[in-house]
């Protein structure tokens, strides 16, 4: 672990020198990142598979769409925009007002483990806006983190774009530095730490946080569509995604119908532990956390999908559990 003062200073000096201001230079950096993604797609996808055992969704494809969209729109986004003249001191005949987008400076992006590249894709917008960028991937994706850091160092000078690897100690040191904007995707407890560190420098933050994710179902619901959506999200990344349904609120008359629809949908898939391309729980700590909830719940198991719980494989089959509002499962995000 080391101080990151020199890295941040190098990026800030580059920004203050006007090195990021040129629109052509911004486009060049975006094209360079696009080349990195297209040239090393398999290596990046394989690294994510090594960490998450996920191959049904490509972070690279989604991030490429972000980069291409940014390149398509960068001219319009960065162009000055004329606004109406108003007020007693100004005249529409002699005065013109414009909103002119300006870079912020040095941007820090702290990404989570569940979609490590997609949740770092805001770097495309940050580069397009004329900022320098430091990305801190999650230490729970060690393979991806190492591959991404290696590739970024190969394609970019660290004064414009760098990756910092490591865990809590490294992130703590990084947050001691002054940034001009911090973006974080993850959980509220960590977000509080980031906000506290940012507040010391009056640094603005953008937070995309997880939490309980309910689905409300009434008598008008299309149960086939409901089951399709819930099962899709539960299978994508083993349910470790913010769009995954966390719990269902419904009426007494609808409850047995929902259980039947979801049971049928999961049964149709068979034993997902046999599907090697199906994602697994990210690590043993999260496996034990979820098993702890299963052991502590006072709810009744209404349905359990086929397949056996395996700590070695970090696999838990889908469960439908009828719980009360005070149950252990309702106290935290179930991912």
Which structure tokens are listed for 40? 């090393």
The helix (H) or strand (E) run that includes residue 97 is: strand 97-99
Residues 228, 234, 235, 238, Cα dihedral to 10°? 180
Catalytic residue among 66, 177, 242, 244: 242
332 is catalytic: no
Task: Give the residue carrying structure tokens 């149950």.
Answer: 327
Phi, psi (degrees; rounded to nearest 5) at 313: -95, -5
Q: How far is CA 159 from the centre of its chain?
A: 24
Region for 330 from its dihedrals, namely left if φ exceeds 0, alpha if ψ lies in -120 to 50, beta otherwise = alpha
Phi, psi (degrees; rounded to nearest 5) at 274: -85, -10
Query: Which spans in the chain are helix H?
Result: 5-16, 23-39, 41-52, 59-78, 122-128, 142-155, 168-174, 188-199, 223-235, 255-267, 284-296
242 is catalytic: yes
Nearest to 235 by CA among 270, 185, 259: 270
Catalytic residue among 6, 31, 102, 208: 208
Nearest to 188 by CA among 205, 174, 200: 205
Q: Are 119 and 111 in contact (CB under 8 A)?
A: yes
Burial of 37 (C-beta count, 10 Å sphere; 0-12/13-18/19+): buried
Burial of 274 (C-beta count, 10 Å sphere; 0-12/13-18/19+): exposed
Question: CB-hemisphere CA count at 13 Å for 80?
Answer: 7
Question: What is the number of other CB atoms lying within 10 angstroms of the CB of residue 42?
Answer: 9
Residues classed as catalytic: 208, 242
């Amino acid at each position: 672990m080391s101080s990151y003062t020199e890295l941040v200073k190098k990026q800030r000096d580059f920004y203050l020198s006007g090195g990021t201001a040129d629109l052509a230079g911004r486009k060049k950096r975006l094209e360079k990142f696009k080349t990195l993604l297209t040239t090393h797609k398999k290596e990046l996808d394989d690294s994510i598979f090594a960490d998450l055992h996920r191959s049904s969704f490509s972070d690279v494809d989604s991030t490429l769409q972000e980069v291409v969209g940014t390149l398509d729109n960068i001219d319009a986004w960065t162009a000055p925009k004329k606004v109406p003249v108003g007020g007693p001191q100004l005249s529409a005949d002699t005065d013109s007002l414009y909103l002119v987008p300006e870079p912020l400076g040095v941007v820090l992006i702290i990404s989570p483990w569940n979609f490590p590249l997609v949740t770092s894709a805001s770097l495309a917008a940050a580069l397009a806006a004329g900022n320098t960028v430091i990305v801190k991937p999650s230490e729970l994706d060690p393979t991806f983190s190492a591959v991404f850091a290696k590739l970024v160092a190969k394609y970019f000078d660290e004064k414009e774009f760098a990756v910092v690897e490591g865990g809590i100690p490294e992130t703590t040191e990084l947050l001691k530095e002054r940034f001009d904007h911090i973006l974080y995707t993850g959980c509220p407890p960590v977000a509080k730490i980031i906000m506290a560190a940012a507040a010391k420098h009056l640094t603005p933050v953008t937070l995309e946080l997880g939490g309980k994710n309910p689905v409300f179902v009434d008598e008008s619901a299309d149960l086939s569509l409901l089951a399709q959506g819930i099962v899709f999200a539960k299978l994508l990344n083993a349910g470790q995604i913010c769009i995954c349904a966390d719990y269902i609120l419904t009426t007494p008359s609808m409850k047995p119908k929902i259980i039947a629809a979801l049971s049928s949908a999961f049964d149709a898939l068979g034993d997902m532990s046999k599907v090697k391309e199906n994602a697994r729980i990210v690590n043993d700590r999260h496996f034990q956390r979820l098993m702890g909830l299963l052991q502590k719940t006072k709810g009744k198991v209404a349905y359990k999908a086929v397949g056996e719980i395996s700590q070695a494989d970090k696999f838990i089959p889908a469960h439908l559990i009828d719980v009360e509002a005070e149950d252990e499962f309702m106290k935290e995000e179930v991912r």
